[in-house]
Amino acid sequence: MIEFVDAAVDGRLHPITVTLADRRIAVIGANGSGKSTLARMINGLVEPTSGRVSVDGLDTRRDGRAVRRRVGFVFTDPAAQLVMPTVAEDVALSLRRSLPDKAERRAAVTRVLERFGLAELAHRSVHALSGGQRQLLAIATVLATDPAVLVADEPTTLLDLANTRRIGEVLLGLDQQVVVVTHDLELAARCDRALVVDAGRIVFDGPAAAAVDHYRAAVS
């Protein structure tokens, strides 16, 4: 469970109090509205300047390391997190701490790549992947450590329609709680709940389809 209690970030997000326990949560709003700031507070990438944010009782400022073990984060551009030369090496890097034994780590890498349909690309350079493959690998790399929560910050923005739908299906099919910041209103409407953020404030919080309708009406 994710809790914001009077949590604010000076100049970017006004104090908000909200509990996020739903399995699929979308965060929508215009560019610069504060939605990415809200998402990044969940795993401590951005710390509140007042109030507090907690994940399963862990404070993001006081227990930052433990929070980051529970909350995986996927960026808009996978280049921000794919740092190793090949697909398999990138997944292996994320498992180095939890699986120090090399044989166990190699076996785990194989399982992760098979799960996400990337096994045939194991030895391919990350720079030779398509945009959709890179974003899928970024998600796989984060999920390799089995976090309880996955936060995805506009994960389909750089993708074509086919890959946008593919990544959406992956996110909505996960066992983890998922918080997705998105401009893809079709994806947002398929979530259980959505927050509409405007000028640093949550202006609507409710069923996803209703939130999308609210947002469409506000910008029309």
Average pLDDT, the chain: 94
CA distance 44 to 123: 33
Indicate the pLDDT class of residue 5, thresholds 50, 70 and 90: very high
pLDDT beyond 90 at 157: no
Indicate the pLDDT class of residue 79, thresholds 50, 70 and 90: confident
Q: What is the 3-state secondary structure (H, E, C) of 13-70?
A: EEEEEEEECCCEEEEECCCCCCHHHHHHHHCCCCCCCEEEEEECCEECCCCHHHHHHH
What would you report as the CA-atom Rg of the chain, rounded to the nearest whole angstrom?
17
Q: Closest Cα to residue 128, out of 80, 165, 82?
A: 82
How much is the pLDDT for 80? 86
Q: Which residue shows structure tokens 């299906």?
A: 169
Q: Would you say 91 and 146 are in contact if contact means Cβ atoms under 8 Å apart?
A: no
pLDDT in tens, 178-193: 999 999 999 999 999 9
Looking up residue 166, the CATH number of its domain turns out to be 3.40.50.300
pLDDT beyond 90 at 148: yes
Least confident of 16-20, 21-25, 82-86: 82-86
Upper half-sphere CA count for residue 177 (Cβ side, 13 Å): 16
pLDDT in tens, 106-127: 999 999 999 999 999 999 999 9
How much is the pLDDT for 161? 87
The structural domain count of the chain equals 1
CB atoms within 10 A of CB 68: 17
Give residue 179's domain range. 2-219
pLDDT beyond 90 at 9: yes
| The pairing of beta strand 201-207 with beta strand 2-9 | unpaired
Which residues touch 104 (CB under 8 Å, ≥6 apart)? none
Percentage of the chain modeled with pLDDT above 70: 100
Which residues touch 220 (CB under 8 Å, ≥6 apart)? none
The distance from CA 99 to its chain's CA centroid, rounded to whole angstroms, is 23
Q: What is the pTM of this model?
A: 0.92
pLDDT in tens, 28-52: 999 999 999 999 999 999 999 999 9
- Show the tokens assigned to 12: 């970017």
pLDDT in tens, 203-219: 999 999 999 999 999 88
